[in-house]
Structure 1
């Protein structure tokens, strides 16, 4: 997210999930932490790989990410992304929850 934040143009707004005000129009904060979400200008939410490809399209290297949505590659890449996102969430948030409970 840091790299995306440095490279993005003004067409993309990044929002810190931890600093957000509660909003009934948004997915639950836990859901937002589990996978990347992107709300399009039309209000549609993209998640996971599709959200990543869309977010990086607001940078000069955006075209390099389009291959992740090719029909033959997308299902495989979605599997890897889902596993990576689960690992990332567990690494960052499961330990934090366990530490708070003790």
Structure 2
């Protein structure tokens, strides 16, 4: 019986940290589909936007970006404790700011200014 994915994860396959996490998640039992934004031509958003932060499109069509995408991905891949921790009201706003800054730094380091890579 084939199960429909609970969501599609769009990630940066040229980011070593991103690749490491996605590779680990692929070895777990999860119902997510993983798509490297560099290797696919049919993408739901411009490639440079998908590379700036992790994106998940849920089965219902909701788009989650950044930490929200990570939390969804963790919940659907057996890392519920990690998802629960980062969802805590005290942790979530701080973690969101840190993730956003890290994602911007990572993107600029790999590709230059935020809109240079198309």
TM bucket normalised to smaller: 0.7 to 0.9
Tell me, yes or no, if structure 1 residue 4 matches structure 2 residue 7: no
Paired position in structure 1 for 2:98: 80
Q: Which has the higher strand share?
A: 2
**What TM-score comes out, normalization by structure 2 length?**
0.69
Q: Deviations over 1:49-87 (max 9, x none)?
A: 110011111222233222212222211111100111111
Aligned length: 93
**What TM-score comes out, normalization by structure 1 length?**
0.79
Paired position in structure 1 for 2:58: 40
Distance 1:85 1:75 in 2: 15
Tell me the C-alpha RMSD between the 2 structures: 2.0
Distance 1:93 1:7, change over 3 A: farther
Q: Deviations over 1:7-55 (max 9, x none)?
A: 352x1000010111234xx121111000000001100100011100111
Structure number with larger C-alpha Rg: 1
Tell me, yes or no, if structure 1 residue 17 matches structure 2 residue 37: yes
- Structure 2 residue runs of 5 or longer lacking an equivalent are 1-21
5 Å matches for 1:42-81? 42-81=60-99
- Structure 1 residue runs of 5 or longer lacking an equivalent are none
Q: Which has the higher helix share?
A: 1
